[in-house]
Amino acid sequence: MKFAEFCDYLLKLEKTTKRLEMFDTLSDMFSNIDNEEIAKAVYFIQEELLPPFYNVQLGIADKVAEKAIAEAYSVDVKGLSQEYSKKGDLGELAEKYNKKNTGSEVSLSHVYNKIFDITKITGDGSVELKIKSLATLIKEVSGLESKYIIRFVLGKLRLGVGEATIMEALSKSKTGDRKFKLELERAFNLCSDLGYVAEVFYKGGEEKIRRFKIEVMRPIRPALAERLPSVHEIVKKLGKFAVDQKFDGFRSQVHKDGDKVKIFSRNLEDITHFMPEVAEAVKKLKHKRFIFDSEALTYDENTNMLYPFQITMQRKRKHGVEEKAQSLPLRLFVFDIMLLDDKDLINEPFIKRREILDKLFEENSSLARTKMIITDSESEMTKFFDDTVSNGLEGVVAKKLDAPYSAGARNFGWIKLKRSYGAALEDTIDVVILGYYRGKGIRASFGLGGLLVGVFDEKADTFKTITKLGSGFSEEQFKELKRILDDIRVEHKPARVDSILQPDIWVSPKYVLTLKADEITRSPTHTAGLENGTGYALRFPRAVSFIRKDKRAEDCNTVRDIIEMFKDQKSVKLKN
């Protein structure tokens, strides 16, 4: 496909405010892309050259892009920089100064490959070479094409297309309807690479996707737990089950293939580099190939006491890792295994996977297994829960003995019970930022006075509003939020946002915050769970974290979570 034609589709996606129109545009686009380019198209729409676990970094800063535009179109870079500070979109400035109105003849593959080549430029003089390469690329294309190239390399494409919509469109383009989306989603959950899934689908057809298997070094999207408010409810739901410890650390998926070890985070970034002692311990394990799921925490070597998440977070760094490993060593608590040697275990019952895991290694300072019991007794589970919490852990996870490993899914195969459950809205809620309001009074100088935030509706693949948020931030954080959010501001309501309210500035749904609130109430103003004119809202919300870099927008709490919390809150009030 010509890149100019691809950009025409991007323009349609950018302009739409309706998810159905977005789906139709994507379906049409995918129908016109061949097998060799489908992965590149998907990656481009996802605003990435490859998924994060491949560690491919563009490394293009605003100043580099400014100089590339100035060089390509013979523009004064100082004037361009001043114009950018006012306009806020280097892509539009590239389009403005590019005088070519007709589309170029270059292909999507040509542009993708040229951008990929820029990522390989390193060493002395690399900045100048990147400027020259980017300038050469945008010089050979039209204005519209240069706009989207610049936005893409800066990570500011702002299309707001969700994974579910991409999969539905892929299904429609090849099968004529959306139904095969479920099979594509299963494959995606097993490899976390939607471009790769699209390529397998286009080249191998439906049968190849149905036979899709997990592979070592391709991270599996982590299984997630549902929630219930009490031990009684869990026992009633599961009968006889396993109860596992729940840690508050780094979710860590460990892959080993011979001497090669990779560790992936909850949001599937490669975090091996800041866990060297864990990687070395894994290398020594006797089995050649495996994938297991775990949680990593720092601890005090003298007392053996585990540190809270805030301290463990100090290990997430690019530099000074060895020194930090001495003062804050990590221990990996392993709780599941998905592959051993050449045996795919993902569909085996949990209890069988656990039996295999228990034989995998001897515990040491870097590797341990979670403590677990099997019971059908409320009193036994309560004692295990109380002992776990008294030891400083977050809670427990109850697991069905016959449950498979549900990659990327949240269901009642796993049920979490945290120490904060059982009292009305003591638990935190993760929300995604949808827009902001300009500040008034003292906050006028910050440029931002409050946020419009929402939760995720999995069925509709949209974000629904649940509250306005203006408490819990320092003055510096308000200013930092303004700077961060202005990088992802958009001109109109994103197609995946469902809102009655209109903030001063809309932003792409990208950043997650954690908050607490006094209670969940019914509201005609917010769209979370909206039915018969009434949705759900949060009363007296306040932020308890700044932006959560370990979570994607789709990882925030769901509408279904909010409805369940509302029911639990109501039952607690009735009991009181």
Domain ranges of the chain: 224-418, 429-575
Does 57 or 169 have the greater pLDDT score?
A: 169
Distance CA 16, CA 346 (A): 39
Does 420 or 138 have the greater pLDDT score?
A: 138
Give domain 224-418's CATH architecture.
2-Layer Sandwich (3.30)
Strands (E), 324-461: 330-340, 343-344, 367-369, 372-375, 395-400, 410-418, 429-437, 450-457
Containing 409, the helix (H) or strand (E) segment is none
> Which residue in 541, 461, 463 sits closest to 509, CA to CA?
463
Report the 3 state secondary structure along 2-17.
EHHHHHHHHHHHHHCC
* pLDDT reading at 355 higher than 60: yes
* pLDDT-based confidence at residue 297 (cuts at 50, 70, 90): very high
- Residues forming a β-bridge with 333: 295, 368
pLDDT digits (tens, 9 = 90+) for 240-253: 999 999 998 889 99
* pLDDT reading at 332 higher than 80: yes
- Determine the average pLDDT of the residues in 314-339: 87
Containing 73, the helix (H) or strand (E) segment is helix 62-73
Containing 342, the helix (H) or strand (E) segment is none
Strands (E), 279-356: 289-298, 330-340, 343-344
* pLDDT-based confidence at residue 141 (cuts at 50, 70, 90): very high
- Residues forming a β-bridge with 225: 411
Q: CA gyration radius for the chain?
A: 25
**Average pLDDT over the chain, rounded to whole?**
92
CB atoms < 10 A from the CB of 342, how many?
8
| CATH topology match: 224-418 vs 429-575 | no
The residues, ordered by sequence, that sit 6+ positions from 413 with a Cβ below 8 Å of its Cβ are 223, 350, 399, 400, 403, 404, 406
| pLDDT at residue 204 in the model | 96
Q: From the options 1.10.760.10, 1.10.150.120, 2.40.50.140, 3.40.50.300, give the CATH code of 429-575.
A: 2.40.50.140
* pLDDT reading at 422 higher than 50: no
> Which residue in 398, 392, 446 sits closest to 419, CA to CA?
392
Q: pLDDT exceeding 90 applies to what percent of the chain?
A: 74
> Which residue in 244, 191, 555 sits closest to 403, CA to CA?
244
DSSP state of 307: P
> Which residue in 92, 80, 69 sits closest to 139, CA to CA?
69
> Which residue in 83, 74, 77, 67 sits closest to 133, CA to CA?
67
Distance CA 533, CA 182 (A): 31
Residue 349 to residues 199, 234, 241, 437, Cα–Cα distance (Å): 31, 19, 12, 49
- The answer to whether 469 and 515 are in contact (CB under 8 A) is yes
pLDDT digits (tens, 9 = 90+) for 555-574: 999 999 999 888 877 555 54
* pLDDT-based confidence at residue 425 (cuts at 50, 70, 90): low
Distance CA 286, CA 258 (A): 10
Helices (H), 98-238: 108-119, 126-139, 143-153, 163-175, 181-191, 194-210, 231-238
- What the block records as the tokens of 541 is 């919300």
| pLDDT at residue 570 in the model | 58
What is the length of the chain?
Answer: 576
Active site residues: 246
pLDDT digits (tens, 9 = 90+) for 82-107: 999 888 899 999 999 998 888 899 99
Torsions phi, psi for 100 (to 5 deg): -85, 120
- What the block records as the tokens of 490 is 């958009």
Distance CA 424, CA 184 (A): 39
- The answer to whether 22 and 13 are in contact (CB under 8 A) is yes
* pLDDT reading at 130 higher than 70: yes
* pLDDT-based confidence at residue 420 (cuts at 50, 70, 90): low
- Determine the average pLDDT of the residues in 316-342: 87
Q: Which of 26-40, 317-331, 358-372, 443-457 has the lowest mean pLDDT?
A: 317-331
Q: pLDDT exceeding 70 applies to what percent of the chain?
A: 97
* pLDDT reading at 60 higher than 70: yes
pLDDT digits (tens, 9 = 90+) for 102-114: 889 999 999 999 9
Containing 325, the helix (H) or strand (E) segment is helix 321-327
pTM (two decimals): 0.88
Three-class secondary structure of residue 488 per DSSP: coil
* pLDDT reading at 551 higher than 90: no
| pLDDT at residue 421 in the model | 47
- Determine the average pLDDT of the residues in 68-93: 92
- The answer to whether 530 and 505 are in contact (CB under 8 A) is no
- The answer to whether 512 and 553 are in contact (CB under 8 A) is yes
Distance CA 159, CA 47 (A): 8
pLDDT digits (tens, 9 = 90+) for 377-417: 999 999 999 999 888 888 999 999 999 999 999 899 999 99
- How many angstroms separate the first and last alpha carbons of the chain? 64
pLDDT digits (tens, 9 = 90+) for 492-548: 999 999 999 999 999 999 999 999 998 899 999 999 999 999 999 999 999 998 898
| pLDDT at residue 424 in the model | 46
Report the 3 state secondary structure along 239-252.
CCEEEEEECCCEEE
Distance CA 532, CA 185 (A): 31
CB atoms < 10 A from the CB of 21, how many?
14
Containing 357, the helix (H) or strand (E) segment is helix 350-358
- The answer to whether 316 and 266 are in contact (CB under 8 A) is no
Distance CA 118, CA 60 (A): 9
- What the block records as the tokens of 205 is 């057809």
